[in-house]
């Protein structure tokens, strides 16, 4: 078993604290006292219950530093640090020129990452390069990006490319109608006369055999909300206060150790035509100050995670960095700022956070997709293992050196927001959530015949399957 002092000393040193190491102290000289012996027994019992074996010298060192109270405090701090981990988030993203070479590097990085995922699938385990396949006719498998999809009299004509070259491919309707430009797929087929005749297509997707819904042995809970839009006249502050009161005063609410707000934290300035008439506050810093005042009402023991959205004070192009320092300084230390997207682990539950602007692209590109189909849209993103898979549509893409939008690891929970509807579901063991807004219908939404679904809080009890939903309307 690990020795407690080695681990505890290392941890406390990182916290700016130190264990005393003074040889024989008054505590050790009074070892024969009954009070001291009772304290020592409590230390040994505590360590034994934790499954830890300590030498007499290590117990002496604990006693010199305060005994059982010191030990419990140190262990609690150590366990608290391990409760969550920020796996993937960026304070800023490396700037680029925006020239074609920058986008070429971005797409190459995307291709390499998704090809690696595809190669873990049995059907695509040994792909060859397109240029090699063109010189060796017969059946083979390639990994390719779809450059273009066109209908023809006999099905679909595809233009496929990889890092070595491109090829014209032919697919029947059942295969071709599912493909979209910029998809990266595994393709099995016959090469003949420099053309590829497609038999089967494989998406990177989620491996069914590996993914099951995760349950964590913990009494903690996570509350998910999104699109608070503080600063809007339509911000439902009274209902939001009910949520905060529930967190403080109810038995279930006190189990919530984590809150995630999934973007569009404030309403912003100049986001859509005529927005000024919808604003209660026309100063974006005042909007963030109001949000900070609300969140600062909560117990500091609740860890709050915020990502930006398209209404927030960051660039519109994705991926979006964390909010600026002058905004972050308004909030208490228990508020943690993440990029959009970001990937975190809470007590072992891995969560992918993405605000969701690319959902609009999916509605434009896939027949029949509407706001009500948001879970299906989320499935399409997981299927493609990319959060903004289509270039040149509604979502501006920043040409960063690496593609931060690739879903390299399948999460336990995938969360979006943005479209102001509330939906929960499950896809191959991944819990899906489009989190609810706290803004009632605006004139702009009414003009587009959109009815939001506000004031719903989604709770994930880590030791139970699925989600629980509370309605604060």
Place of tokens 């130190």: 18
Q: Please name the residues in contact with 467: beta carbons below 8 A apart, sequence gap of 6 or more.
A: 424, 431, 433, 458, 459, 460
Q: Is residue 114 situated within a structural domain?
A: no
DSSP track, 258-281: EEEEES--B--SSSSTTGGGGBS-
pLDDT digits (tens, 9 = 90+) for 97-120: 667 888 999 999 999 999 999 999
Q: Is residue 100 situated within a structural domain?
A: no
Place of tokens 């004139």: 443
pLDDT for position 21: 45
The reply to whether 275 and 411 lie within a common domain is: yes
Domain end: 152, 179, 202, which one?
Answer: 202
In whole numbers, what is the pLDDT of the chain averaged over residues?
88
Q: Is residue 19 situated within a structural domain?
A: yes
pLDDT digits (tens, 9 = 90+) for 269-282: 999 888 999 999 99
The reply to whether 261 and 353 lie within a common domain is: yes
Burial classification of residue 227, based on how many CB atoms lie within 10 Å of its CB (0-12 exposed, 13-18 middle, 19 or more buried): buried
The reply to whether 216 and 311 lie within a common domain is: yes
The reply to whether 249 and 381 lie within a common domain is: yes
What phi and psi values does residue 284 have, to the nearest 5 degrees? -65, -30
CATH label of the domain that carries residue 338: 3.60.21.50
Measured distance CA(256)–CA(248) in Å, rounded: 9
Domain end: 202, 236, 266, which one?
Answer: 202
The reply to whether 29 and 131 lie within a common domain is: no
Q: Is residue 101 situated within a structural domain?
A: no
Question: Where does residue 274 fall: left (phi above 0), alpha (psi -120 to 50 degrees), or beta otherwise?
Answer: left
Q: Is residue 102 situated within a structural domain?
A: no
User: If pLDDT is split at 50, 70 and 90, which confidence band does 375 have?
Assistant: very high
Which three-class secondary structure state does DSSP give residue 448? Answer: coil
The reply to whether 402 and 268 lie within a common domain is: yes
Residue 13 near residue 21, CB atoms below 8 Å: no
b/e for 363-390, b at 16 or more Cβ within 10 A? beeeeebebebbbbbbbbbbbbbbbbbb
Asked if pLDDT for residue 397 goes beyond 90, the answer is yes
Owning domain of residue 149: 122-202
Q: Is residue 178 situated within a structural domain?
A: yes
The reply to whether 372 and 427 lie within a common domain is: yes
Q: Is residue 197 situated within a structural domain?
A: yes
Q: Is residue 29 situated within a structural domain?
A: yes
pTM: 0.82
How many domains would you assign to the chain? 3
The reply to whether 340 and 357 lie within a common domain is: yes
pLDDT for position 72: 74
The reply to whether 68 and 30 lie within a common domain is: yes
Domain end: 144, 174, 202, which one?
Answer: 202
pLDDT for position 3: 44
The reply to whether 164 and 89 lie within a common domain is: no
The reply to whether 336 and 388 lie within a common domain is: yes
CATH label of the domain that carries residue 189: 2.40.50.140
The reply to whether 165 and 52 lie within a common domain is: no
Asked if pLDDT for residue 329 goes beyond 70, the answer is yes
């Amino acid at each position: 078993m690990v020795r407690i002092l080695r681990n505890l000393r290392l941890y406390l040193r990182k916290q700016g604290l130190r264990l005393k190491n003074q040889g024989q102290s008054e505590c050790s000289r009074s070892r024969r006292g009954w009070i001291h012996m009772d304290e020592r027994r409590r230390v040994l019992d505590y360590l034994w219950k934790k499954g830890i074996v300590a030498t007499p010298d290590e117990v002496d060192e604990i006693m010199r530093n305060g005994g059982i109270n010191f030990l419990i405090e140190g262990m609690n701090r150590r366990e608290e640090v391990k409760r969550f981990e920020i796996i993937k988030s960026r304070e800023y993203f490396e700037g680029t020129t925006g020239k074609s070479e920058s986008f070429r590097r971005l797409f190459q990085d995307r291709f390499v990452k998704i090809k690696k995922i595809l190669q873990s699938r049995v059907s695509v385990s040994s792909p060859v390069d397109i240029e090699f396949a063109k010189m060796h006719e017969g059946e083979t498998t390639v990994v390719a990006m779809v450059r273009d999809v066109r209908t023809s009299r006999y099905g679909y004509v595809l233009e496929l490319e990889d890092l070595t070259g491109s090829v014209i491919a032919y697919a029947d309707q059942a295969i071709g109608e599912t493909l979209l430009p910029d998809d990266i797929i595994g393709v099995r087929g016959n090469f003949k006369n420099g053309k590829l005749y497609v038999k089967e297509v494989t998406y990177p997707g989620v491996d069914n055999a590996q993914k099951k819904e995760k349950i964590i042995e913990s009494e903690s809970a996570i509350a998910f909300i999104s699109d608070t839009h503080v600063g809007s006249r339509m911000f439902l502050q009274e209902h939001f206060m009910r949520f905060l009161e529930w967190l403080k005063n109810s038995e279930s609410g006190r189990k919530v150790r984590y809150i995630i707000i999934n973007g569009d934290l404030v309403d912003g300035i100049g986001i859509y035509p005529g927005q000024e008439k919808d604003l209660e506050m026309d100063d974006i810093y005042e909007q963030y100050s109001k949000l900070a005042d609300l969140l600062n009402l909560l117990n500091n023991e609740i860890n709050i995670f915020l990502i930006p959205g398209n209404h927030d004070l960051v660039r519109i192009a994705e991926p979006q960095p964390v909010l600026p320092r002058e905004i972050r300084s308004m909030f208490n230390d228990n508020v943690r700022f993440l990029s959009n997207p970001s990937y975190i682990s809470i007590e072992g539950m891995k969560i992918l956070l993405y605000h969701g602007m690319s959902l609009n692209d999916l509605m434009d590109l896939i027949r029949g997709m509407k706001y009500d189909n948001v879970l299906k849209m989320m499935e399409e993103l997981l299927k493609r293992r990319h959060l903004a898979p289509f270039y040149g549509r509604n979502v501006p893409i920043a040409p960063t050196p690496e593609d931060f939008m690739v879903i390299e690891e399948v999460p336990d929970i995938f969360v979006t927001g943005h479209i102001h509807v509330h939906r929960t579901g499950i896809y191959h063991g991944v819990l899906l959530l489009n989190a609810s807004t706290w803004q009632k219908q605006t004139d702009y939404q009414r003009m587009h015949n959109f009815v939001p679904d506000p004031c719903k809080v989604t709770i994930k009890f880590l030791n139970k399957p699925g989600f629980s939903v509370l309605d604060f309307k």
